[in-house]
Amino acid sequence: MKKKYNIGLLNGTICSKDGKKRASIGIKNNKIIKIGKVNEKECMKFIDCKEKHILPGIIDTQVHFREPGLSHKEDIYSGTNSALLGGVTTIFEMPNTSPATISKIELEKKLKIAKSSSWVNYSFFIGACKDNLNKLSQLENLKGCSGIKIFMGSSTGTLLLSDEKDLAKALKTCKRRVALHSEDETRLKKRFKLIDTKKGVSQHEIWRDKESAILSTKRILKYANKYNTKAHILHISTKDEIELLKNTKKNITAEVTPQHLTLFSPNCYKKLGTKAQMNPPIRNSNHRNGLWKGIYDNTINVIGSDHAPHTLKEKKMKWPNSPSGLPGVQTTLYLMLHHVNKKKISLEKVIELLSFNPAKIYKIKNKGQIKKGYDADITIVDLKKNYIIKNQDMAYKSGWTPFDGLKVKGYIYATLVNGKIKMIDKKIIGKPDGKMVQFKK
């Protein structure tokens, strides 16, 4: 008997942003070709999903994989390997590598590396800077480019666009979705002079205070609304920004990280020290609650990991010399499944924030939904299984997670990328063969 399907996902609970239903999925080549009744005899391979939930593959639109130039911290191979273990099937990688991704040449270097070493589907942001302001409209339309990324607060090398006239020009020029790191550089410089560095990392959120974020976000809204720019504000950290975003145009979207939804100060700094240091900083529970409200009222559109790894040796440096950033691409879905089981959020909402909306906002072709004809990028989870997040299970080069020892409920059982089973029960299968993301016009 000729097999109809390369892979069958049998008798699972298929989940979308709109609800759940019991059904099977038939996959041929890299596409979903059947949703309904599928017999195991029709399949070359199958996974019994009877006690499991089948989700659209997770899309992480904010990761830093450090290659080229900083690959002692992470590289595309190790970062995407970690992504697979975290149920992530597509990543957008940030431009603050060394050299920075600010030109077609540097973008093509990354695409070449990813073609042979990425386990998941990939795309790369190009960073805006003074040197390429006049070329952004061409750069944002290059194949393999996720869009333009703007750093408004302290970053690395030349990737800083803090002058108001430069920001205005960039937001007027770009027609695709623009991702922005929102902190006011002038205020950060002034406030740092007032900080007692001897008090350590507890001063991080005092230095990079809420006003630094609010001022910057107001400036983004001013020009994005003026020019009708599709702006996407990353890692929102204050309840005040949520209020600002509620009253703005629909062309503005916003993202929050799982660490801002899960950790809060001063507890995180007392427990984790510089391991909790990131930009913008983890703030108090009042702000954390404000971010959750932003999710409930649809002000927040996306959850992104902001996976930004550093070695433990680097992290152990005395603040403020310690680098900002936490690893997270492998733990984002674990944390969100745990919040689902704690009744903090519905599974449907998690799918909307981690799959459907990223695909919609960035106009990704054939991803973000379990739908006939779509790419078979799929994440299979067991909501009932307990799991302990451990450093030794992280595939990161840095080898640590701020959530080490956390007991969560919800287990990522399998990850399928382009119709192939690439991870099952913590085992990686095959070789890296992720594809460059395709975008709709």
- Residue 196 among the catalytic residues: no
Instruction: Report the alpha-carbon distance of residue 379 to residue 47 in Å, rounded.
Output: 12
Alpha-carbon distances, residue 121 vs 124, 303, 377, 435 (angstroms): 11, 18, 9, 5
Query: Among 179, 207, 191, 214, which residue's Cα sits nearest to residue 96?
Result: 179
Instruction: Report the alpha-carbon distance of residue 386 to residue 344 in Å, rounded.
Output: 17
Instruction: Report the alpha-carbon distance of residue 265 to residue 351 in Å, rounded.
Output: 28
Contact 212, 187 (CB under 8 A): yes
In this structure, which amino acid lies at residue 193? Answer: K
Contact 372, 34 (CB under 8 A): yes
Catalytic residue among 60, 209, 306, 382: 306
| DSSP conformational letter for 51 | T
In this structure, which amino acid lies at residue 352? Answer: E
Instruction: Report the alpha-carbon distance of residue 152 to residue 128 in Å, rounded.
Output: 10
**Tokens standing for residue 440:** 């709709």
Element (H, E) at 412: strand 407-417
Active site residues: 306
